[in-house]
A = this chain, B = another copy of it.
Amino acid sequence: MNTFGNIFRLTSFGESHGEAIGGVIDGCPAGILLDTEFIQNELNRRKPGQSKLTTARKEPDKVEFLSGIFEGKTTGTSIGFIIRNTNHHSSDYENLREAFRPSHADYTYQLKYGHRDHRGGGRSSARETIARVVAGAIAKLVLKEYNIEITGYVSQIGTIHLDTHYKQLDLSRVETTPVRCPDPDIADKMITQIEEAKAKGDTIGGVISCVCTGVPAGLGNPVFGKLSAALASAMMSINAAKGFDYGMGFDGIHERGSSINDIFYKKETGDIGTRTNHSGGIQGGISNGEDIYFRVAFKPVATLLQTQTTVDKEGNEIQLKVKGRHDSCVLPRAVPIVEAMAAITLLDFFLLNKVNN
């Protein structure tokens, strides 16, 4: 179950401290110019060590493409790629061979598989998301040809909310703050909360919001292939994700139908649009041509730089002090991951919808 998608499909592999992270992208349209600078830049947005807010682990995270590209363009055949792991500090993890970190996947992997790579969380490490970012970057390149753009940003850290509607935000400023929040004042408060948590060896969660513009109407397939269901699955497959909603989501529950229904009208272009977009661009599981927007909740990182009580494989109580380099807050680095999964999903459904034309 390391494959995601129907037509545009990513199959990924790789452990935190193994030889490489990588994957195979199947179903990518042929003839797409592979802008490797753009792809590398997306990886850099996810990379550790970008700012004081993120882990100090330094990895070049340089992608090598092995197939599916000829003379700079995709050929329609499967694209294999790898990113070598270079900065192992595996000895930092020796004490995790027998111990289960609280709220990590150590225990469930051990129980399910009996044999696991304990180093840095192995396959359950967020390092696996590198493969998602590569595939997402390629998906973005294809989507750009159709003017479909995806922008994520941090809208909550701990108790600090950004409540401004996305239409009122200047999303071109997302990358200007290390926390990837487009409002500089809110960003400062978020940074303060992260630093407070970090100072205590503690961690902090938040919410990433994401806006997809230019998505044509018609993407999504009733009744189990709804675009909303696919986006939910995509987002909930990301490490530490605990919640997903779109449109008015959980916050629209107190509204009445009469205040939240989106009224149709004929746009100047002749197309039919809605005057409001509480639906979040998806109706009956199918995109309606309006902006798609959704949120993803992330829990605080499980890895604390504090001593915690836990058990070893035999169930003996032990005191665990985790070593290694860890983020106090993953949200800023998770923005490109959310975008990548959105891009993969949208391109997949864009291609799927071609069978209806």
A→B interface (CB under 8 Å): 1-4, 7, 9, 11-15, 18-24, 26-27, 29-31, 64-68, 70, 73-80, 82, 100, 102-105, 107-109, 111-117, 122-124, 128, 156, 158-159, 197, 200, 202-207, 217-218, 220-226, 228-237, 239, 241-250, 252-258, 260-266, 270, 272, 274, 278-280, 283-288, 297-304, 306, 308-311, 315-317, 351-357
Beta-carbon contact of B283 and A103 below 8 Å: yes
Docked complex Cα distance between A246 and B159 (Å): 19
**Is A254's CB under 8 angstroms from B158's CB?**
yes
Please tell me if the beta carbons of A297 and B250 are within 8 angstroms of each other in the complex: yes
A257:B302 contact, CB within 8 angstroms: yes
Q: Are A263 and B356 in contact (CB under 8 A)?
A: no
* Inter-chain contact A304/B250, CB cutoff 8 Å: no
| A75 in contact with B113 (CB, 8 Å) | yes
Instruction: Return 29 A-B CB contacts under 8 Å, by A number.
Output: A3-B3, A3-B11, A11-B26, A13-B77, A13-B79, A18-B66, A19-B67, A23-B24, A31-B113, A31-B115, A66-B82, A74-B115, A77-B222, A100-B264, A102-B263, A102-B274, A103-B261, A103-B262, A103-B283, A105-B283, A108-B288, A111-B218, A203-B258, A232-B244, A242-B246, A242-B247, A244-B244, A265-B317, A266-B317
CA distance A234 to B115 in the complex (A): 30
